[in-house]
Amino acid sequence: MSGTKLYEILVAAMPDLRGRLGAGSVLKDYTWFRVGGPAEVLFSPADEADLAYFMKALPADVPVTTIGLGSNLLVRDGGIDGVVIRLGRGFNQIEVEEGSRLRVGTAVPDTKVARAAADAGIAGLAFYRGIPGGIGGALRMNGGAHGTETCDVLVEARASDRSGNIHVLSVGDMGYTYRHCGAPEDYIFTEALFQGRPGDPAEILAEMDEIAAYREEVQPIKSRTGGSTFKNPQDNKSWQLIDAAGCRGLAVGDAKVSELHCNFLINEGNASAADLETLGETVRERVKETSGVQLEWEIKRLGKPA
């Protein structure tokens, strides 16, 4: 089915839809790598109710893929079939609640959550200053940095399922392990409630400044990158294994292993998604050959080849 045909079917089936629906949207515009083919249909819901309405009316045979702010994402050059959902302004709310709690929409950038917590005198969330992307991705990946993970501060999360039903999941329901969430794959997270502790705003901001300075010193944050490429194996660090395998600076076309931090792949200009994925697989092969360790991708790879 062409994107235009699916778009027409969905428009006809959803007369009360309030969000933005489009056919053939180029997804590279939404990823930090700046690579990737088109979405057959891209939908940005107006709010949680609009998302639920869309999911209830969506034909069961149409595949759904959810993307966030695109920081930890590699969309292949052939694009993504079916519907791609990207949450936007309707999921950007931040509310301070009693007891050092913060309720936020899942389109809010992680760094903005850290800042809002600091402004409210809520300690314990400053680590989000060191995580690229948005809260939706942090929920799905159990995002963490500097010794703290999402599972350590989450109280509950809201999500819509494939049928448009809304669920509230406690942190125990999320089935968290290292960089993994056990919630059903078809759940689209819409909101999170975090628990912090009372803190001094100036001290929290100072902690955030230290985190930001550290990131700038050791990570290629000004490059087109997707963040950490591979999960850290047990009792090992991926960057050390990659470095020991001689992959620092390795390149495939304009895709390159960062010389600053070799668990980061960067697009130096005109790399394709295929270049980046080929480079990543080459790194995995060389690390396996030299150390016997099989690295696991942390970056989510979606879609089909060109």
298 is catalytic: yes
The 20-23 sheet, strands edge to edge = 20-23, 39-44, 80-86, 64-67
Task: Please list, in sequence order, all residues whose beta carbon lies within 8 angstroms of the beta carbon of residue 200, skipping any fewer than 6 positions away.
Answer: 121, 123
The domain total for the chain is 3
Please give the residue range of the domain that contains residue 279.
224-302
Residues 124 and 47 placed together within one structural domain of the fold: no
Annotated catalytic residue within 140, 179, 215, 224: 179
Amino acid at 138: A
pLDDT digits (tens, 9 = 90+) for 152-211: 999 999 999 999 999 999 999 999 999 899 999 999 999 999 999 999 999 999 999 999
Confidence check: pLDDT of 40 > 90: yes
Residues 69 and 98 placed together within one structural domain of the fold: no
pLDDT digits (tens, 9 = 90+) for 255-293: 999 999 999 999 999 999 999 999 999 999 999 999 999
Confidence check: pLDDT of 222 > 60: yes
Closest CA to 149 of 194, 208, 215: 194
44 is catalytic: no
CATH number at residue 249: 3.90.78.10
Contact 156, 134 (CB under 8 A): no
Of 60, 89, 118, the domain-final residue: 89
Of 218, 237, 259, the domain-final residue: 218
Annotated catalytic residue within 40, 48, 149, 298: 298
| Average pLDDT of the residues in 5-12 | 94
Residues 122 and 233 placed together within one structural domain of the fold: no
34 is catalytic: no
Annotated catalytic residue within 228, 238, 258, 272: 228
Of 188, 218, 248, the domain-final residue: 218
Which pLDDT band holds residue 1 (cuts at 50, 70, 90)? low
What's the predicted TM-score (pTM) here? 0.92
Residues 170 and 147 placed together within one structural domain of the fold: yes
Which pLDDT band holds residue 2 (cuts at 50, 70, 90)? low
Confidence check: pLDDT of 3 > 90: no
